[in-house]
Amino acid sequence: MLLNILLVVAIAAALGAASAQSDWPKCETSCGNLTITYPFGSGEGCYYSSDFLVTCNRSSGEPIPFFRTGNIVISNMSPSKSEIEVMMFVGRDCYNSSGLVRRTGTSLRLGSARISTKNRFVAIGCDTSAYFRGRRGNDPNVLDGTGCISRCDSNSLLTNGSCSGVGCCEVAVPEGLRTSNMTVRSFDNHANITDFNPCSYAFFVEQGKFNFSTTNFLDFQSVNKMPMLLDWAIGNQTCDQAKDMDGFLCKGTSKCDQVYAGPGYRCSCLEGYEGNPYIENDCKNINECERGTHDCEHICVDTPGNYTCSCRDGYSGDGRKNGDATGCSADQSTFIKIALGVSTSAIFLFICATWLYLILKKRKLVMLREKFFRQNGGIMLEQRISGDGISHDQAKVFSIEELKKATNNYDESRIIGKGGYGTVYKGVLSDNRIVAIKKSKLADQTESQIEQFVNEVVILSQINHRNVVKLIGCCMETEIPLLVYEFISNGTLSDHIHNKGNSSALTWDIRLRIATETAEALSYLHSAASVPIIHRDVKPMNILLDDNFIAKVADFGASKLIPVDQIELATLVQGTLGYLDPEYLQTNQLTDKSDVYSFGVVLVELLTGKMALSFDRPEEERNLAMYFLFSLKQGRLFQILDEHLQLNEVPSEIIQVSRLAERCLRVRGDDRPTMKEVANELQGVLASMIKEHPWVVTGLNEDEGEHLLKELTTDYESIHGGNVNSSTFDSMSQHTMLPIASGR
């Protein structure tokens, strides 16, 4: 008895398309994010036939819709186009230096569905052969197939977006394939190219949804599926054969598609209707008048499946304005009425014009500011800030008027510096605070410049350190975005060590303190910030000094946030010649040791007073870092020290700092110390010098000097577990070092 009932239900589902999904109480209308539409269904009696079964798997939490009873996930379905989108598996053939690691192909059995010709068969690899074979009709002995070959090597000029056979190839898919067996192989097991191309890949993908990139060689290892289209139709009979049969679905407001040549038939809504053509009367009338898709000149009247046009009073014609239509023409008596109406309207419009002008001008100004906000990366900045989960209560959003007033409308006399990413103005806020206002160079509105601006805001918002310049706020409403910093009054370190009039004021103890404070700031960025930060442009121009010669690290436009699970980051080389890490320059792998190298160059500049790179010097002296290392090796340290230090001999502190600079400038990053180690060693040197010669704490009063001595001594003792005394540093001299001449 139960079997008979189920049989009746199944027959009813085939006979009544509308009732099959709408009336059957157990029919599911969705599975996860997929909307299930008839003839597909996920419930007994809810689908036309087993070829249209959707299996909804809820065992793993989020429901997953599978095609029929297999493991192919349905991502979208469109009954009006007789298509479904599925996520098809990627075939792969992977090797490493030890041999074959993984090889997978794919096999498809689609029932009455077919692989759409809107797909492409794609293969990726540098020694790759990929092909597929499949059956079109019902004869299992008739197989069709095709494939392609992709070749390249590590020196090939691969082109992004090109899939012509160099690194990537593609072929069209034959029409009507119901099955497919795909195979992908490597010609020579990826020999000599496993570093950048360890795998070969092959897959079907909907045309337009895959664009080849050279990064696919590596990042495609994590891709398991690609979107693919399947065509389907009802049964095996054509429209003429099926229209008189029981279960014919194209009824009511739908019709059978006579253009489709089979196998099977397809339904489509009548012209002027839309909806699911496989459910009787589900295609509903389109109201062209409400949607504005008509060609009526004056009056539109909707009709079932169409619309009619008419003219308003005083006009005559067919009412249409396209093609051979006559439109609507005014009657003779209408011209007088029009003239009176126009003159009256003109007077009214003239009265309103001024009022409207003021309103529109104000609205335009508001819209322009909103446009600049988006254009300058305001939305990106909000996303970055909210994504970081960081409190930004200290940062203020300034208006255009506030910053114009602060800088006297950006008068040139207020310019205090120009850099690679913008111009810096001195400004006075309404509360009499003196600030530095940076106007970024975003006139070309390139994506990289916007990202650098947003990058600097995000990075500075995360930093809270006495030796890092403080971000006060920003303004996003102008065409060129603005950043507001605390004002550092004494210029840059470069101004002092390379200006003959200023360099004599930088005694050795001040230089050592500046180096120590800069190292502490960089150490904080590398190891104490919430997300490790690599400055990437450490140089004297980016180290500001206040009136007490306290160092403040600035200019984070080129900086990079490093994920906590990474120790290096592949990126385009960026920085300043003379300070660039040679290992980073060669490998493009940015690490915290890149900042260590740049800081080593800064140490050498503090010792010698010379610029990092100068073509005015002899060839062997042009690169300061190389010349310093050579002089150190030759025992000529005294000869290259800054004459403004006025030394008769080389103090032990300078020798220790020189040895530290030599370690920072080593070619291999692994051989360099970390910034934390550098900061600790400089703290120890400074603490020793203050303890032995307390009168050298230039710029500090007695209490401040005593406090600094205690602070540095405590820091160093906490690291080395002992007292700071001359023996601590004497022990350093017992290490094997480069020869250094003291000189007199």
Catalytic residues: 537
639-649 as b/e: b if 16+ CB within 10 A: ebbbebbebee
Residue 718 identity (one-letter amino acid): S
Nearest 5°: the CA angle 46, 51, 57 is 65
Q: 71 vs 57, 93, 107, 625, CA distance in Å?
A: 10, 21, 11, 62
Per the CB < 8 A criterion, the answer to whether 632 and 666 are in contact is no
Any bridge partners for residue 439, and if so which?
423, 482
Per DSSP, helices labelled H in 581-730 are 582-587, 592-608, 624-633, 637-640, 652-664, 675-692, 702-720, 726-730
Cβ atoms of 275 and 261 within 8 Å: the answer is no
Residue 673 preceded by cis peptide, ω within 30: no
Q: Is 439 annotated as a binding residue?
A: yes
The answer to whether the CB of 322 falls within 8 A of the CB of 295 is yes
Cis peptide before 227 (omega within 30 of 0): no
Q: Determine the Cα–Cα distance for residues 221 and 710; give it in Å rounded to an integer.
A: 56
Helix (H) or strand (E) segment spanning residue 678: helix 675-692
**For the chain, how long is the longest CA-to-CA vector?**
115
Single-letter code of the amino acid located at 609: G
User: Which residues are bridge partners to 659 per DSSP?
Assistant: none
Beta bridge partners of 66: 55, 73
Structure tokens given for 66: 């599978």
Cα–Cα distance for residue pair 309/302, rounded to 1 Å: 9
Task: State the residue for tokens 């050498």.
Answer: 604
Q: Residues annotated as binding site for ATP? A: 439
